[in-house]
Amino acid sequence: APAALRDACDAFRARERAWLPAYALFRVLRRLHRGAAWPQWPSPWREGPEAAAAALTPALRRAVERETFVQFVFQRQWDALREAAHARGVLLCGDLPIYPAYDSADVWADRRLFRLDARGAPLESAGVPPDAFAPQGQWWGSPLYDWPRMAEAGYAWWVERVRVQGERFDLLRIDHFRGYEAYWAVPANARSAAEGYWCPGPGAEPFLRVQALPDPPALLAEDLGTITPAVEALREALRLPGMRVLQFGFDGDLANPHLPRNYVAACVAYSGTHDNDTTLGWWRGLDAAARARVREALGACREPMPWPLLQAVLDSKAALAVLPLQDLLGLDSRARFNTPGTLDGNWRWRLPPRRLTPALAARVRAALGAGGRCA
C-alpha cells in the first residue's frame, strides 16, 4: 500500500540520515553539472551540502527526493537478494576500500575529515611504496584521512561507513588493513609514489568503536603487502582473520605464511585475488625452479593445473577458502581481472555463457568434500 511504502521509506531515511541526504544531493548536482568533478562546480554547489541545500530550486529539491527514493528501492532489492542467497545457503562477502575517491560525495560532504588544503585540494594522497607488483609504487590518488580530527569526533564517520556496509554483507573485508597501523602518504608535488613516506595510523580505536556497536559486523583484514610485526600485532589484538594467497607461497621459504601447509585456522585462503593473474596463468609463467617448488609442496598431481593448486587451498586449515571463478573454469591470463598500477584493460572479464555446468558443480563439490568443506 502507498502508505506502508511511504512509512518504510521514511524509516529508511531516518536510519541512514548520516549519509543519505548528502549522497542524494551530490548525485543530483553531479547530473546538473553534466558529470563534472565537484571541485569544478561553481559556488555555492562546490561548498558542500549545507550551502548547496540552501540554494536548491523546487525542481532540484524534487530531484533529491527522487534520488532518495531510488536508494530506498535499491536497499529493498538488496535485502531481497540477500534473503534469496541465505535461503540457498549462500553468504555475501563485501569489500570496504580504505579511502573513498577524491571526487565523491564522501569528500565533498565532509572535507574537514580529509587532508585537504584551503581550496579543497589534497595535501597528500594515498598509495603504497614500491613492491613486487609496482617497482615505482602505486599512487592511488585518494585523499588521506585527517585521523586526529576523526578521533575528535569519536571516529563517527568511519564507524557509520563500516556499519552501513556491514549490514549489507555477512563478512566485510577491510581493504589495506596495514594502513590503520601506518599508511603511505604521497605529497601532491611528488613525481612518483616512491617519494612518499609512512605516517602513523589510528591503530585499534576505530575498530573498537565498531566492535562496540549493538550488532557489530564480521570483519576480515586484508593484510597483504608490506606487513610488519606491528601490523600483525594490531590484527591479532583485534582478533581479525587475515588473508593467505597461494600464489605468494612458493618463494623457497619454508616458513612463508602463504604456503598452504602453513595456513592457520583464523585466516581466509585464496588461490589468487582480483590483483593476481589467474592461477593457470600464474603457473604457466613460472620458471622451472618455481615449478619444482610447487610440485614438491603439492606432492603427486593427478589432475592438470590449476586443480591441484585449488585443492591445496581447500585442503588447508583455513576457516574459509576462496577460489575465483576464473580458476574454477581453468582460464588462462586472458581472464585476469586486474593488474595493479595500471589503468587500462582491467575489470573487463565477464563470465562466458553456459560455463556453469552440472559437471563443473559436481567437480567443485567433490573437491570441497575432499577438503572437508561440505556439510
Query: Is 277 a residue of the active site?
Result: no
Query: Is 103 a residue of the active site?
Result: no
Which residue in 16, 110, 222, 327 is the catalytic one? Answer: 222
Query: Is 131 a residue of the active site?
Result: no
Which residue reads 584551503 in cell numbers?
118
Let me know if 82 is exposed, middle or buried by CB neighbors in 10 A (0-12, 13-18, 19+). middle
Find out whether 108 and 38 touch, Cβ atoms under 8 Å. yes
Q: CA–CA separation, 54 vs 216, rounded Å?
A: 36
Which residue in 175, 195, 205, 332 is the catalytic one? Answer: 175
Which strands make up the sheet holding 197-200, listed edge to edge? 138-143, 124-128, 182-187, 197-200
User: Cβ atoms within 10 A of the Cβ of 327, count?
Assistant: 25
Q: Which residues contact 274 (CB under 8 A, 6 or more apart)?
A: 324, 337, 338
Closest listed residue to residue 173, CA positions, set 266, 265, 94, 271: 94
Closest listed residue to residue 221, CA positions, set 137, 315, 95: 95
Q: How far is C-alpha 115 from the geometric centre of its chain's CA atoms?
A: 22
Strand (E) or helix (H) holding 142: strand 138-143
Just list the catalytic residues: 175, 222, 275
